[in-house]
A = this chain, B = another copy of it.
Amino acid sequence: MWKLESSSLDVNVLPVEESLYALANGYLGIRGCFEEGYPQEYTSIRGTYINGFYDLIEAKYSEKLFGFPEVQEKMPNLMDAQTMEIYLDGERVSLFNGCHTDYKRALYFDKGYAERSFVYRTQKGKTATVRFRRMVSFQVKELLLIEAEVQYDGEIRIRSIVDGNVSNYTDDFDPRVGEHAQLLDWKSSSLVDEAYMVLKARTKKLDFEVCCGVYHRCSKPEISVVIGGEHEPRMTAEYATSGNITLTKYAAYCDSRCQQEPVEHRVLKIIKEQSYISLEDHLTDQRKYLENFWKHSDIQIFGDDLIQQGVRFSLFQLLQSAGKDGLTNIAAKGLTGEGYEGHYFWDTEIYILPFFQLTQPQIAEKLLTYRHSILDQARNEARTLGHRRGVKYPWRTIAGRECSTFFPAGSAQYHINGDVAYGFIQHYLQHKNLDFICHYGAEVVFETARTWLEIGHFSNGKFMIHSVTGPDEYTCIVNNNYYTNVMARYNMEWAVKLYHILKEERPEALKGIIQRIQMQESEIDEMISAYKNMYLPYDEQRKIHKQDDTFLDKALWDFEGTPEDKYPLLLHYHPLTIYRYQVIKQADTVLAHFLLEDDLEDEIIRNTFDYYEKVTTHDSSLSSCIYGIMASRCGYCEKAYDYFMETVRLDLDNTHGNTKDGLHVANLGGTALSVIFGFAGYRIKDTGISLRPWCPENWSGYEFKLFYRGRQLRVNVTDHLEIELLEGERLEIKVYDKQYGLDSLLKIPLEGMKRND
């Protein structure tokens, strides 16, 4: 199953499919809208986006307190090059007005393009075959190609449009969808060399430029061409012929945010170069790129095609979403929609990065490099928050500014600092790339570690962290959130470790970093004292970790009295009401047990899972994957599988109801993690890697590969575990708490999971 496909048309599902069938390459993204258009009254979010391209909008408050962000960054919807209207003997083709048969669409994960075709019957009873194919190139990141192929015995006209009349989508009734529709001012439209349509726009506030150039290649060179709309924000190229036609549209998008060369120069250069290459040749290149991706990154599921499809869909979309230039990251919705305004969150490090770390370490490093690139903004934000040293990573951002305007569920989530540090540390554990630590990691880990010293304090000999919000946004501004405290402990412990490692192995590099951030030797001592005495709230009676100092003292939410249509709670209850109860939006303490399980007794892990599971709504899409992984850890096989099913189908079945605003990319990452960290029980620690595999009953097995400290391994789980060393030196590996030496191939029988269902 290397594709997503559909052969039914449902008006209500169209906006969801726009997200599912979106194409992107980590730089340029385009939603899966219909080239020939929809009737005016249909809901459609016709979107084209560039990762990291943004403008500023005013942050609005009726009561603004000190340090609240004045502005927010927001990703604009760009000029639209999707439209290719088709007229048959003058009749406009539409799937919603006329008659059609044989409709189908597909997105190919292995080939990297999307296809849509149908047979159209005109009002006069003649039929036409229409097929669109489109791709966003992984090899030339600015490039989008769309091909329209029409077979018809009569007059065919194709009007191919590039439109600068664009705006962002807004929804007054959903706080998760942003405001501010108009971000771009159209600047110019011109026809270059009588062939290239070039549209330029600028962002209203920051004056960033974005340019789109379009060229057409037609299967019938002799047909008449009309190109209109110069000096207007909408340009049209019209191709008219009789009989069959194939029209290929080459569109290139460039922006000025990180490049000096004028955008129209670059656009023209790219479009001129690339339009000499046929779509078929571009598709060949695309397939090669993806072959290489899948070679390392595929997760195979044996015996369940639907799950296999869902998993590959997830991995493909992760690849499509990831910024690969070190200056951009992965937005909460990737490049598939406008939800969360194109902002990056902690999602990257905790939910997505591990997949790339294991299978595409060079992409992982680029994502981490981005975090290093915004250190200065994070320093500024820390000063705004009153900290004399350290950094505060923005809860949500594109270019580094803190963009959360509701701080209890935004800036207060200091754990983002720990999450970013965790990403660097895990990457180091996985690959032991000390150069990368020297250049990027150490500074981030040191700076984030210092911040804990600023916000924490000692009380009765224990290090406490007050007034923060953990991952669970249904419980805000608390003291000693367990998740935050363990992440802080890990952050500081590793700051100290890296300090000593560098002192030993790269003393000059360390000196440079320390000088740059003006860190004192005494701060290392402070960190040691803080992490060694970190307070971790624990309930003796229940033998579980407390989510925070007072979570367990609250009343239980009345789940029985809450009808289905009141979920997600945040859309139906005042935050104060929600805060008052033991009810959580997403994995919090359970997530902490996943990320940092060291030294924990199984009993505590299981008790904690049992307790919080009962009060978790999974209203966030960041929850079910973690509960699934930890269900595996606890031996709850049925649960693990159920949670995995929720995870893998979340967008495909639109279970959260808002896939139209873009895919839940963290959850896509969670799908990959569910197999590797969940079913296979993979963990990486300072002491090495370990597995604790089991196989869901419905499957005959699964397989994935991973890179580890200069090696590549293949892990295959069927009725036994097979680990193959594909490349690199012998290693030690722990399976079910027992140590093995892996020279080339290990076969280990699966331990019957200690089933706890």
Q: Which residues of A contact B (CB under 8 A)?
A: 59-67, 72, 175, 179, 384-386, 404-408, 410-412, 455, 457, 459, 464, 466-467, 476-477, 479, 549-550, 553-555, 570-577, 579-580
Return chain B residues, CB-CB under 8 Å to A467.
554, 576, 579-580
Q: List 8 A-B contacts (CB under 8 A).
A: A60-B61, A63-B404, A67-B575, A459-B555, A466-B553, A466-B555, A467-B580, A477-B477
Inter-chain CA distance A405–B384, complex, in Å, is: 22
Least Cβ–Cβ distance between A379 and chain B, in angstroms: 15
Return chain B residues, CB-CB under 8 Å to A574.
65-67, 384-386, 407, 411
Judged by DSSP, the binding face of A is: loop
A576 contacts B63, C-beta separation under 8 Å: no
Q: Of the candidates B62, B455, B553, which one forms a contact with A61 in the assembled complex, judged by CB atoms under 8 Å apart? A: B62
B60 contacts A580, C-beta separation under 8 Å: no
Question: A548 — nearest CB in chain B belongs to which residue?
Answer: B550
Which of A59, A60, A66 neighbours the largest number of chain B CB atoms within 10 Å of its CB?
Answer: A66
Question: A385 — nearest CB in chain B belongs to which residue?
Answer: B574
Inter-chain CA distance A370–B630, complex, in Å, is: 56
Return chain B residues, CB-CB under 8 Å to A404.
63
Q: Could you list 10 further interchain pairs (A-B, Cβ under 8 angstroms) beyond the known A65-B406, A549-B550?
A: A63-B404, A66-B570, A66-B574, A66-B575, A67-B573, A385-B577, A459-B553, A464-B553, A467-B576, A467-B579
Return chain B residues, CB-CB under 8 Å to A553.
459, 464, 466, 479, 549
Inter-chain CA distance A407–B574, complex, in Å, is: 10
Question: A58 — nearest CB in chain B belongs to which residue?
Answer: B62
Return chain B residues, CB-CB under 8 Å to A179.
62
Least Cβ–Cβ distance between A22 and chain B, in angstroms: 25
Which of A175, A570, A572 neighbours the largest number of chain B CB atoms within 10 Å of its CB?
Answer: A175
Q: Of the candidates B63, B384, B385, B554, which one forms a contact with A466 in the assembled complex, judged by CB atoms under 8 Å apart? A: B554
Return chain B residues, CB-CB under 8 Å to A72.
62
Return chain B residues, CB-CB under 8 Å to A570.
65-66
Return chain B residues, CB-CB under 8 Å to A407.
574-576
* Given A457-B555, A553-B466, A555-B466: A573 and B66 interface contact (C-beta under 8 Å): yes
A575 contacts B464, C-beta separation under 8 Å: no
Please list the 9 inter-chain residue pairs (A to B) with the smallest Cβ-Cβ separation, ordered nearest first.
A457-B555, A67-B574, A62-B405, A386-B577, A60-B60, A467-B580, A63-B406, A467-B579, A60-B62
Least Cβ–Cβ distance between A509 and chain B, in angstroms: 33
Least Cβ–Cβ distance between A401 and chain B, in angstroms: 13
B580 contacts A466, C-beta separation under 8 Å: yes
A411 contacts B66, C-beta separation under 8 Å: no
Inter-chain CA distance A579–B72, complex, in Å, is: 24
Inter-chain CA distance A202–B237, complex, in Å, is: 54
Least Cβ–Cβ distance between A23 and chain B, in angstroms: 30
Question: A411 — nearest CB in chain B belongs to which residue?
Answer: B576
Question: A556 — nearest CB in chain B belongs to which residue?
Answer: B457
Return chain B residues, CB-CB under 8 Å to A66.
570-575
Inter-chain CA distance A36–B291, complex, in Å, is: 84
Return chain B residues, CB-CB under 8 Å to A60.
60-62
Inter-chain CA distance A477–B467, complex, in Å, is: 10
Return chain B residues, CB-CB under 8 Å to A477.
408, 476-477, 576, 579
Return chain B residues, CB-CB under 8 Å to A554.
457, 459, 466-467, 479
Which of A384, A477, A549 neighbours the largest number of chain B CB atoms within 10 Å of its CB?
Answer: A477
Return chain B residues, CB-CB under 8 Å to A550.
466, 479, 549-550
Inter-chain CA distance A721–B402, complex, in Å, is: 62
B571 contacts A405, C-beta separation under 8 Å: no
A59 contacts B62, C-beta separation under 8 Å: yes
A175 contacts B63, C-beta separation under 8 Å: yes
Inter-chain CA distance A406–B60, complex, in Å, is: 12
Inter-chain CA distance A175–B72, complex, in Å, is: 19
Question: A459 — nearest CB in chain B belongs to which residue?
Answer: B553
Return chain B residues, CB-CB under 8 Å to A476.
477
Question: A580 — nearest CB in chain B belongs to which residue?
Answer: B467
Question: A569 — nearest CB in chain B belongs to which residue?
Answer: B66
B386 contacts A175, C-beta separation under 8 Å: no
Inter-chain CA distance A745–B169, complex, in Å, is: 78
Inter-chain CA distance A406–B64, complex, in Å, is: 8
Inter-chain CA distance A408–B553, complex, in Å, is: 20
Inter-chain CA distance A386–B574, complex, in Å, is: 7
Return chain B residues, CB-CB under 8 Å to A412.
576
Inter-chain CA distance A464–B580, complex, in Å, is: 11
Inter-chain CA distance A550–B467, complex, in Å, is: 11
Inter-chain CA distance A209–B18, complex, in Å, is: 51
Least Cβ–Cβ distance between A474 and chain B, in angstroms: 11
Inter-chain CA distance A728–B661, complex, in Å, is: 74
Least Cβ–Cβ distance between A466 and chain B, in angstroms: 5
Inter-chain CA distance A573–B65, complex, in Å, is: 9
B61 contacts A405, C-beta separation under 8 Å: yes
Which of A385, A464, A467, A570 neighbours the largest number of chain B CB atoms within 10 Å of its CB?
Answer: A467
Inter-chain CA distance A175–B62, complex, in Å, is: 8
A64 contacts B579, C-beta separation under 8 Å: no
Inter-chain CA distance A72–B62, complex, in Å, is: 9
Least Cβ–Cβ distance between A713 and chain B, in angstroms: 44
Inter-chain CA distance A281–B732, complex, in Å, is: 104
Least Cβ–Cβ distance between A57 and chain B, in angstroms: 8
Inter-chain CA distance A351–B579, complex, in Å, is: 30
Least Cβ–Cβ distance between A462 and chain B, in angstroms: 10
Return chain B residues, CB-CB under 8 Å to A59.
62
Inter-chain CA distance A135–B553, complex, in Å, is: 58
Inter-chain CA distance A572–B457, complex, in Å, is: 22
